[in-house]
Structure 1
Amino acid sequence: MGLLTGILYACLAFFGTGWYLGKWSGNFSLLLFTLTVVTAAYWLAERFVFLPRRLAAAATLTHQDGERRAELARLGIDKVDMDVESARERLLAQPWWLDWTAGLFPVILMVFLLRSFLFEPFKIPSGSMIPTLEIGDLILVNKFHYGIRIPVLNKKVVPLNDPKRGDVMVFRYPVDPGIDFIKRVVGVPGDEVAYINQKLYLNGQLAPLQQLDDYYDEDRRTYSRQFREDVGGGVTHRLLVDPQQPSSYGMRARPFPGSENCRYTAEGVTCKVPAGHYFMMGDNRDNSEDSRFWGFVPDENIVGRAFFVWMNFGSLKRIGPFH
C-alpha cells in the first residue's frame, strides 16, 4: 500500500505541476471530488481493516508477554528485560501512507462540502471588472444563492434565486467550460440588450448614466472616464468607458450558440436573450471580452454570485462587500 500511495502522490504532483505551468487545463472541482473519494477509501480501510489488524497484533503481543512473564515467574525469575510497551506503540502507530491519506480525509471532506455548497474563493486575474474589482482581489462567491447544485456535474437540484440585472456572477466560460469567468449580469431571459456607441440599452430604454470623477489606474498611471450606471431594480454600479475605442464589434465577434438572436452593426450589437441564458458584460466596458463577443451564458454554467473581497495583498482597503 505504501508503494501504491507513493505512485498516487507522484501522479498528483505531476498533474498539478503541469496545470500550474499551463501545459494542460484542469477541473479543480473534479480533482477535489477525486481526492475526497480516494482519501475516504483509505479512511474506511483504516477504520475497518488496518486499525483492527494493528489492535489485534498489539493484543497478541501483550498476551504473549503476559504468558512469558508468568512462565518465568513460575521458574523463580522476577526481573524481565523487555520493553513491551515501546513495541506495542510501534505496532499501533499509523504508517506514513495512512497519515497522508486517511488522516487528511476529514479536512478534504470539509473543504469539498464548503466549496461545493456554501462559498468558494476566487482570484481576479484581469482588469475586465475595473473599477468594481481590481486585479489581485481575492473574492468570495456564494454557491447556493442561485440554487443548490450537484458537485462536479453542476446540475441544479434545488432552485432558489434567479440571477438579476446588476449581479456580479462567476460562471464557466461557454467557449471553454474549464475556465471560470466573472462579469456582471446586464440581460436576463427575454431582455433585448443593445450596446450602441458605448451606451447600454435595455428593452429599448437607455440605462441611465451619471458621470463621476475620472478613475485613476495606479498601475498604469492613467485616467479613465468613469460613470455610474443603473441597470434597473435599484442596482447601480461604476463602469469605465474609453472614447478612443471603436464602437463596432461585428468584425471581432465569433460564431456562438444563439448568435441568430444578435445583430451586429458599425455602431454596436443588439441581442435578444433566450430562455435559460444571460447576457454578461464587464464593468471595464472597452477592455472586456464578454457576451458581445462569445454569446450568452446558459444557466447550467453558473457557479455563483460574487459578493465580497476578503483580501488584496496590495491594498487592504479593498476588503469588504461590493455590488
Structure 2
Amino acid sequence: MVWFETILVVLTLLSGAIWLGDKLFFARRRAARGGLLDEEPVLVDYSRAFFPVLAIVLVLRSFVAEPYKIPSSSMMPNLLIGDFILVNKFAYGLRLPINNHKFVPIGEPARGDVVVFKPPHDPQNNWIKRVIGLPGDRIVFQGNELTINGQKIQYQTLGTYTGRGVAFGLDSASLLEEQLPGRPHQVLEGLERHVGQGEWQVPPGHYFVMGDNRDNSEDGRLWTQTHFLPEENLRGKAFLIWLNCEGWFCKGSFEPSRIGNRIR
C-alpha cells in the first residue's frame, strides 16, 4: 500500500539525515568538549542504529522482491486465499517507491505472466491478475472461450474442481487447462455463468489482464473507466509462494505443501 511505502521512505530519509547531520556538524564538537553531558543524544543513537536496517529493507522491497498476501479467490486454482507470494520488482524495470516511476527499463511483461499492479480505478491498492493481451492484441472472450488475434485458445477439461476454496461457490466449477501460447495454466469456469463477455483492442503501452477464476474475477473485462492496464501501473512479476496461512497466526488454515511453489 502507498501509506506503508511512504512511511518507510520518510523514516529512512529522516534517520539518515539525523545521523549524517550529527556526524558532519555535532559529533566533533562533542568529542572536543568531552564530558558526560556531551554524550551522543538518544535520537542520534536510534537513527544510527535503525538507518542501515531501514535502508536495506527499502532497497530490497523497492528494487529486488516484495511480499504480498492473496486476499481473494480471483486467481484460483493457482493462487489461494492466504498465499503469501514474492514479486520480482526488477522484471519490468526499476521503479521509484511511492510514485512508481520507472527510471531503468529492463523488460516488459510476456503473455501469461502473473503480475501485481495498481488498477486505474483503485490506485491506492495492489491487485494481481494474469496478462492475457499485449499491446496491439485483439482479445475476444465469448462463452468462456478466449480468442487472441483470431486464434482460438484450446482447453483441456480436467474435471470438477475439488480443491481448497469450494466454500467460495466453487463446488461445481469446472477445472480446465488453458493452452495460452507459451504459458499453459489451469483456470476455473462456472457451469452456468458467463461473466465478462466482449471484444477489446489493446492500445499501445497497455495490457489486458484477467483472473484465472474466470467467473469470479473483477478484471479488465469488467472495468468501466478503461478495460486496460497502463504499463506505468505495473509493480512486478509474481514468481513464488513462500507461505500459505489464513487468519491471524495461521488460525484454522496452514498448508505447508504450498511453500516454495513457483507461480506459473
Tell me the TM-score range normalised by the shorter chain. Answer: 0.7 to 0.9
The one-letter amino acid of 1:106's match is: P
Residue 9 (structure 2) aligns with: 33
Q: Select which of 195, 201, 211 maps to 2:141.
A: 195
Q: Select which of 191, 194, 197 maps to 1:243.
A: 191
> Greater CA deviation, 223-232 or 294-303?
223-232
Residue 108 (structure 1) aligns with: 54
Q: Select which of 172, 178, 186 maps to 1:229.
A: 178
SS of equivalent to 1:101: helix
> Could you give the per-residue CA deviations for residues 153-206 of structure 1, whole angstroms, max 9, x where no partner exists?
322222222211100000111102111110000000010111101111111221
Residue 252 (structure 1) aligns with: none
Residue 299 (structure 1) aligns with: 231
Paired residues, what number? 249
SS of equivalent to 2:173: strand
How big is the shift at 1:91?
4.8
How big is the shift at 1:213?
3.3
Q: Distance in 2 between matches of 1:156 and 1:114?
A: 16
Cα distance change on mapping 1:202 and 1:108 into 2, 3 Å: same
How big is the shift at 1:217?
4.2
The one-letter amino acid of 1:230's match is: Q
Q: Distance in 2 between matches of 1:218 and 1:170?
A: 23
Q: Distance in 2 between matches of 1:49 and 1:136?
A: 49
Q: Distance in 2 between matches of 1:99 and 1:310?
A: 35
> Could you give the per-residue CA deviations for residues 193-249 of structure 1, whole angstroms, max 9, x where no partner exists?
1110111111122111111132224354535210111221x21111100022244x4
* 1:309 and 2:241 correspond: yes
The one-letter amino acid of 1:316's match is: P
Q: Distance in 2 between matches of 1:120 and 1:109?
A: 14
**Contact 2:109-2:131 at 8 Å conserved across structures:** yes
Q: Unpaired runs of 5+ in structure 2? A: 246-253
TM-score, scaled to structure 1 = 0.72
> Greater CA deviation, 94-103 or 118-127?
94-103
Q: Select which of 60, 70, 74 maps to 1:124.
A: 70
* 1:288 and 2:217 correspond: yes
Q: Distance in 2 between matches of 1:220 and 1:27?
A: 34
**Contact 1:147-1:158 at 8 Å conserved across structures:** yes
Residue 18 (structure 2) aligns with: 42
Residue 276 (structure 1) aligns with: 205
SS of equivalent to 1:37: helix
Q: Distance in 2 between matches of 1:174 and 1:40?
A: 34
Residue 262 (structure 2) aligns with: 321
**Contact 1:273-1:296 at 8 Å conserved across structures:** yes
Residue 253 (structure 1) aligns with: none
Cα distance change on mapping 1:310 and 1:226 into 2, 3 Å: same
Cα distance change on mapping 1:96 and 1:54 into 2, 3 Å: same
SS of equivalent to 1:105: helix
Counting only pairs closer than 5 Å after superposition, residues 129-278 of structure 1 correspond to structure 2 as 129-221=75-167, 222-232=171-181, 234-247=182-195, 249=196, 268-278=197-207
**Contact 2:172-2:190 at 8 Å conserved across structures:** no
Q: What is the alpha-carbon root mean square deviation over aligned residues?
A: 1.9
Q: Unpaired runs of 5+ in structure 1? A: 1-24, 62-87, 250-267
TM-score, scaled to structure 2 = 0.87
- Name the larger-Rg structure: 1
**Contact 2:172-2:191 at 8 Å conserved across structures:** no
- Flag the structure with higher helix content: 1
> Greater CA deviation, 35-44 or 163-172?
35-44
Q: Distance in 2 between matches of 1:49 and 1:103?
A: 19
How big is the shift at 1:117?
1.0
SS of equivalent to 2:221: helix
SS of equivalent to 1:201: strand
The one-letter amino acid of 1:285's match is: R
**Contact 1:193-1:201 at 8 Å conserved across structures:** yes
Counting only pairs closer than 5 Å after superposition, residues 51-66 of structure 1 correspond to structure 2 as 51-58=27-34, 61=35
Q: Distance in 1 between matches of 2:201 and 2:166?
A: 36
SS of equivalent to 1:212: strand
